[in-house]
Amino acid sequence: MTVWLAIGITAAGCYLVKLLGLSAPAGILERPLAKRLAALLPVALLAALTAQQTFSDGRHLLLDAKAAGVAAAIVALLLRAPFLLVVAAAVAVTAGVRALGG
């Protein structure tokens, strides 16, 4: 399978999924469960992508400087630090661990 064929199949699949969503009856979309899922699904997908990029090299579990930065951000969040301080702590710890060779 060539790359362009994979891109074409993916584009067609995305179009069909979008078309399916647009052609769904309004009654289905107005249900509380559908609204709740629509609100939570992007958060779940973003969390999964973040976890995959942070803790994996594509095939293996990887605990490196990025994981230390995430741990620092979690600690800052638990201490109820402002958002910019959470980001700064994660950046500082990640840079520090990389500078120490980790």
Give the pLDDT confidence of 27-50 residue by residue, as tens digits.
Answer: 888 899 988 988 999 999 999 998
**CA–CA distance, 90 with 72 (Å, rounded to integer):** 5
Residue among 40, 66, 41 at smallest CA distance from 53: 66
Domain that holds residue 16: 1-30
44-79 pLDDT, tens digit each: 999 999 888 888 887 888 888 999 999 999 999 999
Answer yes or no: is 8 within a domain.
Answer: yes
Number of domains in the chain: 1
Q: Is the pTM of this model over 0.85?
A: no
